[in-house]
Chain A
């Protein structure tokens, strides 16, 4: 540079902010590895509300078997089933996902109602009982959980074991029971199922009585398990997979299928749907075929204590088959409608 004011020639000071070099590198990597900038034929996007610890190994097995990379979004425990559901709703007609693997069979109806699902009748679905798939092919159910009571044996002592969800509101168990926030997860479906079976008035009274009875409202079913295992409450309403985890940890607990002499326990198959307009529909169908396979049901039974619904899949020790329990009679489509309809009073009950 010719410095005219001093009349001397000087090398310009070298600007070498290493920070910017690091940043430029980071940018290059972020943008260079711009997955999602373009549709790749060897990948598929799956949103799932099935616990990551169970769903991820199954999706990895699919990757290994098919050579297709799975990019997944998992739910947090606290917003179980509704976090990714809402993301799907928010993404609307510009979906990033190809497949939604739901932890229950009713949330797909929310998407169906908004026209966000594409029909797909998987060849694998033929072996499943008829009631587990939509006539129009928009959803298919498989590997099921049940709603159960998890009871802490030490805290229970010599008292009779609670055997009904009505024990949650019984004065015998005042301040000793818990259930998860009914705005989220399978508890929403359970309350909706009760509402569609009992009627709204009785369902509302049930929740009011639960509160009046000093019932503890947990943030999730996983937390229900923690509260029972730690002995902070005597029993709680949760899912079979959470209860099974507690049993695997050798906690002093027992799992009770409720109301076996009454209206039965709620059984909830997981459900898989193809998202309309997803970026990789063909790969989405392949994932669905994989999820609906006998092998996946077997793995879900072994790792997550899900009840196989396909005939012929072995039921591991400690897991009951659907035939062995008295299931609550519900129509999932109606439960889904009830679940949406009851939201205002449910939010009011929770306090939001």
Chain B
């Protein structure tokens, strides 16, 4: 996910003269479709805001009904202690992820490391998986009964430090990816000029890093946000954190969603701070500052640094892949076990694929319209982005209860009783991913092309889809894939609301994990890995075929 969108007047937003003014027309001459864009944007923005805030309004109502009883929770010490612990864990996770992701992004994004594309793919893949799967792999390795486990390793794993290590390794690829992409967009002349007089390390430190600072900030925020809302890893590693307390509160015998909402109130100032940092430090500059894409460029030669950097990069990438190898080893069994595995998997893989694909499509539709407006500096996009960001960082358990209360009505049974409720939840949570990538993508399309088309009589729809979207279809495909992956790896949202008989694979693994046969649970985890890898493999093959043509 890139940085925040540009408000009017922010860098990257250039209002410029109206196209009809360029054409020398008067207001009466303006084309009849001049309001189309505003209308479509209003429609999409309104629909998304309504969609995202409907469950939240329902929750606020619950809080209002439960009144002081819910708010009374905030006068106890434990919620604040848990919040403090969660923020500390998320902060430490962010530091670790930055420590891994920035140098790795630099090395793999810009320098001539042998097999860097494969290394980058292997490293990034870890981020596409629900973090509790690698946690399960580490457990099979370092738990007391694990391949390399003993009391000491188990104590470390089942501790806040263990949560930080597992999450940090899982989430670091987000930083690596943002850094590598930002580096890919740098003007090569800057680095090449510096390399004439300085060593690669100094060039990276003094030229590249300052230029990609917004991307690093955005990466840090993504990691912090995801770590703060992560449920599966802390629950599995038995570490009490804030979102687990909210989730647990919803599972108490006296169902009181208002109390869960009250518990979330302390998060609001925190979320406001995250949003502020996001806009101030990351802002529209994440990609825009480094300029438009300039095509492939030769990787820089590491020189003497290579002796240190290459083994380090290989080491980190191999280390982050270890839990997946362990899971595969744990799942290994006689061929007959495959049938058992498929029986336990049931329809869950299909449900995962379907809900993630549908959600990614809806999110991309919103992302294309709103992201285009954001790239063109329209203020309404700022509001939609803020709502989408709120949906992303709000504890999924709270969102789930809001959806449950809001959509369990006779009229909305076609939504509540089907996978559509999961799709809706994913759209609410992950549209921000599609929106920001789309905004960044459209930011790279020269505006003059659209202006010229408008003068030539192209409607808003054609300018958007036939010019802007078409010129960087790959960027939009990346937006779709990223949103799809977020849906595929989701556990927290789906676990509360999945329709009967239609659980996603992550939910199935999680519900079976407690007492299910370990080999089957590991096997289902491997199925999830393959499920995630398949679309990427298909996309890679498609790209390779197109390149050959």
> Is B151 positioned at the interface, with any CB of A under 8 Å from its CB?
yes
Taking CB atoms and an 8 Å cut-off, the chain A residues in 53-77 that contact chain B are 53-54, 69-77
B interface: dominant SS = helix
CB distance from B213 to the nearest CB of A (A): 31
Q: Which of B253, B361, B512 contacts A343 (CB under 8 A)? A: B253
Q: Number of residues in B with C-beta < 8 Å to the partner?
A: 78
In the complex, whether A209 has a CB less than 8 A from a CB of chain B is no
Q: Are A36 and B514 in contact (CB under 8 A)?
A: no
**Is the Cβ of B418 less than 8 Å from the Cβ of A30?**
yes
Contact A90 B358, CB 8 Å, known A19-B477, A36-B418: no
Interface stretch (choices A44-52, A139-147, A161-169): A44-52
Cβ contacts under 8 Å, A83 to chain B: 250-251, 496
Please choose the segment from B163-171, B198-206, B318-326, B400-408 that sits at the chain A interface, where 4 or more of its residues have CB less than 8 A away.
B400-408
Beta-carbon nearest neighbor of B397 in chain A: A79
Are A231 and B144 within 8 A (Cβ)? yes
Decide if B501 is an interface residue (CB 8 Å cutoff): yes
What's the Cα separation between A19 and B513 when bound, in Å? 35
State whether the Cβ of A311 lies closer than 8 Å to any Cβ in chain B: no
Could you tell me which residues of chain B, from 373 to 417, have a CB within 8 Å of some CB in chain A? 401, 404-405, 408-410, 413-414, 416-417
- Evaluate contact between B251 and A184: CB separation under 8 angstroms: yes
B420 contacts A30, C-beta separation under 8 Å: yes
Contacts of A47 in B (CB 8 A): 500
Roughly how many angstroms separate A86 CA and B245 CA in the complex, as a whole number?
16
Contact B253 A340 (CB under 8 A): yes
Does A317 sit at the interface, judged by CB under 8 A? no
User: Is A351 at the interface (CB under 8 A from chain B)?
Assistant: yes
Query: In the complex, how many angstroms separate the beta carbon of A225 from the nearest chain B beta carbon?
Result: 8
Q: Is the CB of A96 within 8 A of B365?
A: no
A72 to B408, CA, bound (A): 17
Check A23 for interface membership: any CB of B closer than 8 A: yes
- Report if A241 contacts B (CB, 8 A): yes
Q: Give min CB distance, A150 to chain B, whole Å.
A: 14
* B248 at interface, CB cutoff 8 A: yes
Among A35, A69, A89, the residue within 8 A (CB) of B418 is: A35
Some 23 contacts from A to B, beta carbons below 8 A apart, are A5-B456, A17-B469, A18-B477, A27-B361, A30-B354, A34-B420, A51-B514, A52-B511, A52-B515, A52-B516, A69-B501, A70-B501, A71-B501, A72-B501, A73-B501, A77-B513, A82-B252, A89-B255, A94-B413, A184-B248, A231-B144, A340-B254, A352-B79
Q: List 20 extra interface pairs beyond A13-B470, A17-B470, CB under 8 A.
A: A5-B457, A14-B466, A17-B469, A23-B362, A23-B365, A29-B354, A33-B418, A34-B414, A47-B500, A54-B515, A74-B511, A78-B247, A83-B496, A94-B408, A107-B253, A188-B253, A223-B238, A231-B144, A343-B253, A352-B248
Sort A-B residue pairs by CB-CB distance and give the 9 closest, nearest first.
Answer: A23-B361, A36-B417, A71-B501, A79-B251, A77-B514, A351-B78, A222-B514, A71-B500, A230-B144
